[in-house]
Amino acid sequence: MAFKDDITLPSAFLLTLGKHSERPAMAMIGGEQLTYGDLYRRIRAIMAFLEKLGIVPGDKVAILSAGLPNWGASYYAVTFMGAVAVPLLPDFHPDEIRNILEHSEAKAIFFSENQQSKVNSIPEGITSKRIRIEDFSLKNGSLSDPVFIPSAEPLKEYSVHSDDLASIIYTSGTTGKSKGVMLTHLNICFTADKSGRVQEIIETDRFLSVLPLSHSYENTIGMVLPMLRGAGIWYLGKIPTPSVLLPALLEVKPTIMLTVPIIIEKIFRNKIQPAFTKNIFLHAAIHVPFLRKILNVAAGKKLMQTFGGELHFFGIGGAKINRSVEKFLIEAKFPYAIGYGLTETSPLLAGFNPQNARLQSTGPSIEDIELIIQHPDKKTGEGEIWARGPNVMKGYYKEPVLTSEVLTADGWFKTGDLGIFDKDGYLYIKGRLKNTIIGQGGENIHPEDIESIINNFRHVADSLVVVQQERLVALVQFNREEIEERYSQLKYDISNYVEHKIDELQQELLQYVNTRVNKFSQVQRIVVQEFPFEKTPTQKIKRYLYT
């Protein structure tokens, strides 16, 4: 479709409906399947139901559920009638949900059965209209309350404009307080369309959705983009554990998936790496470059079959991918792609497709947006990334001061990320501006670079580099289960042996990392992190809790 500046979610959907009404739109694995015609009828019926509940243009309506066809139908129904969707992450704490519902002044909430206990904890005076997303029945409804009728049609015709607010997405970031990011119809539709220019999407593509739809990455690129192109989306309906994901991959045989780095990193560390290291001949071969490449190609073919055999775009975003894992993906000829963006930019700013991969880069800027490096360092060229274009948010809801801190008068958004461009215009993210540690000699130290090295060490599950008493300290979570499994055949008391082994690993790790970083980035101490780090939905550690 040709992009138009006056596009909205309803106008875009109608264009797709006219071309692809009988094609699959949304489906549950092993369950309900909706064509675009079916989906449109359901959207209209939900709009009619919301009218009966008193929802009018401008009202806020929250959605608290894992991905399923009714999530998308509810989102579109809300936005088609000029109301504002407020997606809530299923992992949000009940107190966080309550705060967001109060802050957004949501008039209604769609919720799934497994989120009911959280909804029950919210006082009745907050968001009184509570709708079960599975069947659109009202929680605590009475006989006099409206009921959902699948064949109903809305009574009103709604006029929605491209600069109207479509969604408020509350971030749960690495720096603390959630902020409500205001995204317009133009923000979302523009970004979805331009994402489809990075990788061509056609109506026969099959998306397998494994990320929360309440995250802008999955929302814009995993839901709105396939709608623009008439492609189909399949939902797991459950947490993507291996026992759930593997059969789904074989059933759907997806052509496109969107993920975060931890998914492919876990596969690499738990399946691929051990296969090479357990065999003495393979372990020796992977240290010979041409043999390693042959082995990685073979592993890549097996990995492709695991994903159903028809994958041609495996998108990775939300956080930086580990260098060693990415190097494997390149040599394995696995069709991965990297994107960079933020909720505030709807989200994509830069990206490449599998044919244009470049190690540790996030690719060039997407079409029709501007990216610049503000105040670059004279030596390194690093500086804060600023962005300007139709994908930049309106601002933070009810937060004019916070908005003015990140949006300039002439439309530039300050991302808070440090980066550099290469001679071909490919962007490289160096870290978060707020995370940068200033060394004793005034050097800029990016903890993410050190953590990437630490995370490549055997039996390391995760790490965080912080400053304690003016010294660099690495908080490291070791994979105890992995160590237990590795040494379970020994006749020692396994619990005591694991503790002893972790003590040894601490000393080895300190030497390992310090021989791989420059002098001013050397770690002075390794501290064992007993419990998993608390993380954001895109699996980034909430640094503010540990610094």
Q: What CATH number does the domain containing 487 carry?
A: 3.30.300.30
Distance CA 429, CA 361 (A): 7
Task: Give the rounded percent of residues in the chain with a pLDDT score beyond 90.
Answer: 74
pLDDT bucket at 175, cuts 50 / 70 / 90: very low
Omega prior to 347 cis, within 30 of 0: yes
Q: pLDDT tens across 392-441, in order?
A: 999 999 999 999 999 999 999 999 999 999 999 999 999 999 888 888 76
Residue 504 dihedral angles phi and psi, to the nearest 5°: -65, -45
Whether residue 524 is contained in a domain is answered as: yes
Q: Are 417 and 347 within one domain? A: yes
Determine the average pLDDT of the residues in 483-505.
75
Q: Are 285 and 421 within one domain? A: yes
Which of 136, 167, 192 delimits the end of a domain? Answer: 192
Closest CA to 473 of 402, 439, 522, 426: 522
Taking the model in full, what pTM does it have? 0.89
Closest CA to 352 of 192, 198, 190: 198
Amino acid found at 217: Y
Whether residue 54 is contained in a domain is answered as: yes
**Range in 45-49, 141-145, 180-184, 260-264 the model is least confident about:** 141-145
pLDDT at 320: 87
Q: What is the pLDDT of the chain when averaged over all its residues?
A: 92
Q: Are 413 and 453 within one domain? A: no
Q: Are 389 and 295 within one domain? A: yes
Q: Are 67 and 103 within one domain? A: yes
Determine the average pLDDT of the residues in 346-368.
97
**One-character DSSP codes across 229-274:** HT-EEEE-SS---HHHHHHHHHHH--SEEEE-HHHHHHHIIIIIHH
pLDDT at 488: 66
Q: pLDDT tens across 263-306, in order?
A: 898 889 888 888 887 778 887 888 899 999 999 999 999 999 99
Whether residue 80 is contained in a domain is answered as: yes
Closest CA to 135 of 213, 210, 65: 65
CATH classification of the domain holding 351:
3.40.50.12780
Q: Are 395 and 465 within one domain? A: no
Whether residue 231 is contained in a domain is answered as: no
Whether residue 224 is contained in a domain is answered as: no
Q: Are 15 and 74 within one domain? A: yes
Residues 6+ apart with CB under 8 A from 206: 231, 232, 234, 252, 253, 254, 255, 256, 310
Whether residue 450 is contained in a domain is answered as: yes
pLDDT bucket at 125, cuts 50 / 70 / 90: confident
CA angle (324, 299, 456) in 5-degree steps: 20
pLDDT at 326: 96
Q: Are 430 and 442 within one domain? A: no
Give the burial class of 414: count Cβ atoms within 10 A of its Cβ; 0-12 exposed, 13-18 middle, 19 or more buried.
Answer: middle
Structure tokens, 469: 């008493």
Q: Are 419 and 482 within one domain? A: no
The boundaries of the domain holding residue 442 are 436-545
Distance CA 14, CA 411 (A): 31
Q: Are 105 and 168 within one domain? A: yes
Whether residue 475 is contained in a domain is answered as: yes
The number of distinct structural domains making up the chain is: 3
Which of 192, 214, 230 delimits the end of a domain? Answer: 192
pLDDT at 174: 46
Q: Are 441 and 429 within one domain? A: no
Determine the average pLDDT of the residues in 39-63.
98
Which of 168, 192, 216 delimits the end of a domain? Answer: 192
Q: Are 411 and 467 within one domain? A: no
Whether residue 313 is contained in a domain is answered as: yes
